[in-house]
Amino acid sequence: MRALLNWLQHRTGYQDLIREALYEPIPGGARWRYVWGSTLVFTFVVQMITGVCLWSAYSPSAQTAWESVYHIQNEMYLGGVIRGMHHVAAQMMVVLLAIHLIQVIIDGAYRAPREVNFWLGLVLAQIVLALSLTGYLLPWDQKGYYATQVTTKIIGATPVVGTQVQELVQGGSEYGHHTLTRFFVMHAGVLPALLVGFLALHIYVFRRHGITTPEPRKGETPRPTGNFWPDQIFKDAVACLGVLAVVMLVAIFKGAELSAPANPAEAYSAARPEWYFLFLFRFLRFEAVEHFGLAFGALYVPGAIMGLITLMPIIAMVKGGHRFNVAFMWLLTIGVVSLTALAMVEDNRDAGHQSALREAERDAHRVAELAALPDKIPIEGAGHLLKTDPFTQGPRLFAKHCSACHRYDGHNGRGVLMTELQDGVAKVTAPTATDLAGFADRNWWDSVLVNFGDHLARATAAGYQGTEMTEWSAANHDLLTKSENAEDRKALVEFLASSSGRLESVDDALVQRGRALLVDGEKFASGEAFADETSCTDCHAALGEKFELGADNSGYPELNGYGSAEWLREFIKNPGSPQFYGDNNIMPAYAEKMSPAELDLLVRWMTHDYPETHVEDYPSLSDELPPVGDATAAKSEPKSDAAPAPGNETENK
């Protein structure tokens, strides 16, 4: 072995290189404060390794990017951990970069003769931030798509050449597929190559001038000179292992988020930049900053700050310059931390944003469920799964077309209370029609039979006139609520609810008993009959038969097939037909307001006809509605067909 190593030394001189690299003298000895540069390099190496692993399975196109990331996250062995490490290490690099910069300025390691090294470090910092920006888009999910769109708009605000640079970056005049491919080239090719090149220069210049040691305090004995090996390397190794431990723990237990596939046709109000850019996001939202325009807040002010940091080596030549630089850096740090905290607090208090976040999380879980079904992801892409999913699209269609009058478990279908501004205050508006949660199920029918007046109370309070059904329900209330008639009451409900064909199981004996009571006129267990010997068949013709299109019921709604998909589809198309409410109808017809595909999605959602899901439904908000007859109730006619974004009902109204 010695002969081999001697031969290798003679041919390459590797021992001289190792000696030059390891046996660097460190004035004042090894210190923990010197580890930050090494941890940055180590984290970049982690990024390189995990990035290559991800690259091996990533497909950079608008049709396949999300799908390939889903495959990495959920199908590839340890793919979720690798992606999580890459994601967390990227954030760790930004944190370590900030710490390293602050430490360099405090120690005065930017002063002569180390100015060039400081400037090289600033270039490296810009490359790291650019890597973060370009990587955010690559999953091609809603979060990255809309957040990165803001970045390209900021680029477009650059004076004189903004439009041209924006088109160059996003691959044309439109933000889309070519933007993704350009960002991938930058993230996986150009920027890493630049980082490696400038890092080599940075380390070379650093080794040329050595470590800057802090000035000893008065009366303090100078510490002896140490060596890079093994003293400082030991501290660097411990720090790097600590960074790796944090990265792996967060990657394993939290991982990287993957929201729903990017959908340019659907607004995404939950979009935010990564947390380390939140300070700039919040700064741009100040009214004074908005007044001066996007370029002022996103380019001029950050550019001026960056220019001042760049001039720090020159400022330090002036008496008191170093103290000014340190004070400025601490003020800047406090400002960044404060703006970041302010943005987080405001987002936590913003009900609309929180609602948008919940819906985004709901969509992310749902598309993962659909992609895991036996049919997997279709050729049209993962976005097609959500576009054709009743569980996802039904609530959106309900919020767009139905929530002006109806509610679904107290909300607009998307888990949000409908509000309107009154005297500058957003107040919850009352529905003007029945709540459609549980439509046509057993509880629904029990409410209709026993207390139709309360069932229709919202519509009555809004001005809708009472019906014969209200009187019939009141007249038969005592009969239906007698304890000896409890089984017959269940039979009536079972018979009526079974006609929808939606019950998971049906008690045939109860159905037959219900038919006998309603259709055949048999008496109840108490020996009584309906009040005035009237039953549903007196108004609702052919009760107990099959639902057929085109029947003329003289404006009494068809009860055969009530609540079934076929019944709902025809009813929503034209509720004013003689088969349904006729002249008594106040609901608009949607035959031309909704496409057949939209109508099908809405109906299938209401009838729960969609693949099984473990995504939690929106919580009930019925208790938060104003009392029946409250003055805050909205008018009975729908105001608009516009779809309110989650949490933005006040603005839309």
The answer on pLDDT for 14 being more than 70 is yes
- Report CA-CA distances (Å) from 307 to 288, 298, 313, 314, 487: 22, 14, 12, 12, 82
The reported pTM is: 0.84
User: Does an H or E element contain 91, and which?
Assistant: helix 79-107
| 434-459 tens-digit pLDDT | 899 999 999 999 999 998 888 888 77
pLDDT above 50 for 463:
yes
The reported pLDDT for the residue numbered 547 is 83
| Rounded distance between C-alpha atoms, residue 653 and residue 645, angstroms | 11
Q: Does the structure show a pLDDT above 90 at 548? A: no
Span 9-17, average pLDDT: 87
Residue 452 has a pLDDT of 87
pLDDT value of residue 240 = 96
- Give start-end residues of each CATH 1.20.810.10 domain in the chain: 20-214+222-269
**In Å, what is the CA distance from 353 to each residue of 254, 275, 399, 424?**
22, 15, 17, 20
Least trusted range by pLDDT, from 135-139, 423-427, 472-476, 597-601: 423-427
Residue 111 Ramachandran class (φ > 0 left, ψ -120 to 50 alpha, else beta): beta
> What's residue 498's pLDDT?
92
DSSP letters, 331-393, are HHHHHHHHHHHHHHHHHHH-HHHHHHHHHHHHHHHHHHHHHTSTT-S-TT-THHHHHT-HHHH
Lowest mean pLDDT among 28-32, 168-172, 411-415: 28-32
Question: What's the Cα-to-Cα distance from 221 to each of 26, 33, 34, 215, 624, rounded to whole Å?
Answer: 16, 19, 20, 11, 71
Considering only residues 645 and 11, tell me which one the structure prediction assigns the higher pLDDT.
11
Q: Among residues of the chain, what percentage have pLDDT more than 90?
A: 63
Angle (CA) 528-529-533 rounded to 5° is: 145
What average pLDDT does this structure show over 537-557? 81
> Which residues, 6+ apart, have CB-to-CB distance to 512 below 8 Å?
none
What is the Cα–Cα distance from 87 to 51, expressed in whole angstroms? Answer: 10
Q: Is 613 helix (H, G, I), strand (E, B) or coil?
A: coil
For all residues of the chain together, what is the average pLDDT? Answer: 89
Give, rounded to a whole angstrom, the gap between the first and last alpha carbons of the chain. 82
Residue 465: pLDDT band by 50, 70, 90 thresholds? Answer: low
Residue 97 identity (one-letter amino acid): L
pLDDT at 220: 66
- Does 230 sit behind a cis peptide bond, omega within 30 degrees of 0 on the bond before it? yes
Dihedral of alpha carbons 117, 120, 125, 131, sign: negative
**pLDDT number for residue 269:** 82
CA distances from 559 to 377, 459, 539, 580 (A): 40, 20, 10, 9
* pLDDT tens digits, one per residue of 251-288: 999 999 999 999 988 888 888 899 999 999 999 999 99
The DSSP output letter for 216 is P
pLDDT of residue 302: 95
pLDDT at 199: 95
User: What's the rounded Cα separation, in Å, for the pair 651 and 23?
Assistant: 67
Q: Is the pLDDT of residue 397 over 50?
A: yes
Superfamily of domain 20-214+222-269: Cytochrome Bc1 Complex; Chain C (1.20.810.10)
Let me know: does 65 contact 180? Beta carbons within 8 Å: yes
Could you tell me which residue, 112 or 603, shows the higher pLDDT? 603
Among 287-301, 336-350, 528-542, name the one with the lowest average pLDDT: 528-542
Q: Which pLDDT band holds residue 544 (cuts at 50, 70, 90)? A: confident
Question: In the predicted model, is pLDDT for residue 55 greater than 50?
Answer: yes
Kind of pairing, strands 226-227 and 419-422? Answer: unpaired
pLDDT at 651 over 70: no
Q: Report the pLDDT value the prediction gives residue 262, as an integer from 0 to 100.
A: 93
